[in-house]
């Protein structure tokens, strides 16, 4: 706790003072981020640090496994936040970012590990398509290779779920919203982006849009990703 308190004082006395004009502007003008960033709750990921963005640049959703439940009649916080970001704030892009060494993906592959965690098990049911794809199409993979492929498949499947949200579907139809699939490799700092043309996660060089309505994916292909 002491470390956190010291951090607050350091922020107030040094960092805030250096960016006082930025915070004053954010207070006066409100927020207008152009990017909705959906990623995992894992403590090893810092979206602002990773993208070198400032306060006000990213609208962030974090949960176990960077999961996006399909649109449904019982909206939760993730669904409400997506709707607000897309319909009210008017973000221009959505990034769904998975990561290496993901505990949620490990649990998805080993459901017995969450037998005593009913809330976790229920949450991971929103990634059931990922689990089935892995079970039925990636039986040749083991260990780290299997976990990487699961992480990649999950990002793509969550994008499919994302596109079931009416606010997202409407913006995609107008072609004024793009969606991007990323995987962050914690141990090297690298970011890989799914390229629909190559059907691979490749080192991030530019923002390549991936939309469930038009991307092509050969099941099993992404397991050959460059990392």
The pairing of strands 93-99 and 58-63 is unpaired
The single residue of 9, 10, 29, 44 carrying the catalytic annotation is 44
The single residue of 71, 99, 165, 171 carrying the catalytic annotation is 99
The pairing of strands 58-63 and 200-203 is unpaired
The single residue of 40, 97, 146, 163 carrying the catalytic annotation is 40
Annotated active-site residue 180? The verdict is no
Annotated active-site residue 99? The verdict is yes
Euclidean distance between CA atoms 51 and 37, whole angstroms = 10
Annotated active-site residue 217? The verdict is no
Q: Which two tokens stand for residue 70?
A: 């399909």
The single residue of 71, 97, 102, 131 carrying the catalytic annotation is 102
The single residue of 10, 25, 29, 42 carrying the catalytic annotation is 42
Please list the active-site residues.
Answer: 40, 42, 44, 99, 102
């Amino acid at each position: 706790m002491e470390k956190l308190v010291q951090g607050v004082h350091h922020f107030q006395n040094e960092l805030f003072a250096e960016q006082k004009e930025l915070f004053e502007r954010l207070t006066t003008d409100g927020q207008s981020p152009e990017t909705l960033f959906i990623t995992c709750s894992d403590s090893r990921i810092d979206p602002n640090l990773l993208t070198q963005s400032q306060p006000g640049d990213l609208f962030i959703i974090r949960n176990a496994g960077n999961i996006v439940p399909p649109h449904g009649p019982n909206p939760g916080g993730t669904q409400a936040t997506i709707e607000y970001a897309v319909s009210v704030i008017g973000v221009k892009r959505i990034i769904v970012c998975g990561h290496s060494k993901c505990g949620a993906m490990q649990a998805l592959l080993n459901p017995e590990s969450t037998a005593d965690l009913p809330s976790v098990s229920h949450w991971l049911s929103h990634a059931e398509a990922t689990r089935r794809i892995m079970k039925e199409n990636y039986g040749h993979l083991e260990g780290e290779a299997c976990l990487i492929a699961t992480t990649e498949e999950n990002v793509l499947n969550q994008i499919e779920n994302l596109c079931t949200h009416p606010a997202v579907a409407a913006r995609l139809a107008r072609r004024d919203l793009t969606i991007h699939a990323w995987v962050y490799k914690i141990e090297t700092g690298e970011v890989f982006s799914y390229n629909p043309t190559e059907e691979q996660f490749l080192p991030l060089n530019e923002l390549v849009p991936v939309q469930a309505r038009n991307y092509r994916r050969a099941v099993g292909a992404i397991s050959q990703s460059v990392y």
